[in-house]
Amino acid sequence: MSDTITIDTEALGEKIVRVLKTIYDPEIPVDIYELGLIYDVFVNEDYDVKVLMTLTTPNCPVAETLPVEVEEKVKSIKEVKDAEVEITFDPPWSQDLMSEEAKLELGLL
């Protein structure tokens, strides 16, 4: 029997999502998770987290600060050892990526 401790990545993933839902795009009154800016969250057995995200546009005014805010807030979760944010524009963000809640909030439904 192995001595390795299995981490509950699902519970940690939920904590990460809760933190991501506290971060807002300054131009749109919806959090970045509901906006569909978060493409994926990876957690390895060392509690290192990688967040794959996009921005609404490549020249987004918060292109410099938003990824840093995401990284810092994810790192603030006590179980997380380290966090890294990778920005991608593949696929490019579109309103189709928004949750129903976000579309409703913005009057798109």
Cα torsion 84, 87, 93, 95: sign: positive
Separation between Cα atoms, residue 51 and residue 38, nearest integer Å: 7
Q: Which residue spans within 16-92 are E strands per DSSP?
A: 38-43, 48-53, 82-87
pLDDT tens digit sequence for 10-58: 889 999 999 999 999 888 889 999 999 999 999 998 999 999 999 988 8
Ordered domains of the chain (ranges, CATH)? 9-93 (3.30.300.130)
Q: What pLDDT score was predicted for residue 4?
A: 45
Q: Is the pLDDT of residue 7 over 90?
A: no
- Coil, strand, or helix at residue 40? strand
Residue in the structure block whose two tokens are 């410099």: 64
- Mean pLDDT value across the chain: 90
